[in-house]
Amino acid sequence: MVGARRDPAGPPARPAAARRRARRAPRHRRRGRRGGAGDAARGGARVTREEQLLELRRALRELLHTERRLRSREPEPGRLSWPQYRVVHALVELGGTAPAGKLAVAAEMTPASLTQAVDGLATLGLVERARSDADRRRVDVVLTAAGREKYDAVGARIQPLWDEAFGDDTPEELAQATRTLERLTALLLRF
């Protein structure tokens, strides 16, 4: 047919970020090289401090972008959304019961986002709203037994992923990663 576009042969193009990740050596193969993760891509050449800082900034942007995507995507059937998981996790850390304001702070959510997440969790029977015994004007969010079971099931599903990603790391490497994330958090709070 004249003027018809022909589809190029082969699979559809992947986004640039996916292509970069595919080119990088797996993490376990990069370990132990001097000069950082970028050495593999440079044929073993030494990476400068400035280049390594740029790589750190890129990795941080990718992490933050992934967290934003998780916040906005619809969960698979039977799974919690990212905001719902954050609410349940915060409730567990707060002992299973908390007023909405305290829960919003603990889950690092706006009151509107918290309300939406709690509504969804209440529909699933994972939390309940209950008047406080101490102050009848206050409504607490209470984690149900089903909510605790769901939280434990999510933990059982996620723990092997953490073990796979970081199982070969030494305690010193994990401590360094923790310190780096804490420093990045402090840096972002200064912006």
pLDDT digits (tens, 9 = 90+) for 123-154: 999 999 999 888 888 999 999 999 999 999 99
79-126 per-position pLDDT tens digit: 899 899 999 999 999 999 999 999 999 999 999 999 999 999 999 999
CATH of span 50-165: 1.10.10.10
Burial code (b: 16+ CB inside 10 Å, e: under 16) for 74-94 equals eeeeeebbbbbbbbbbbbeeb
What is the strand order of the sheet 139-143 is part of? 97-99, 139-143, 127-131
For β-strands 127-131 and 97-99, DSSP reports them as unpaired
Place of tokens 């059982």: 156
54 contacts 36 by C-beta, under 8 angstroms:
no
pTM above 0.75, yes or no: no
Tokens representing 125 are 């029977």
pLDDT at 25 over 70: no
29-70, pLDDT tens digit by residue?
A: 344 433 445 455 556 678 899 999 999 999 999 999 998 888
CA angle 100, 102, 105 (to 5 degrees): 105
Residue 35's identity, in one-letter code, is G
Q: At 143, phi and psi to the nearest 5?
A: -75, 130
44 is written with which tokens? 């073993």
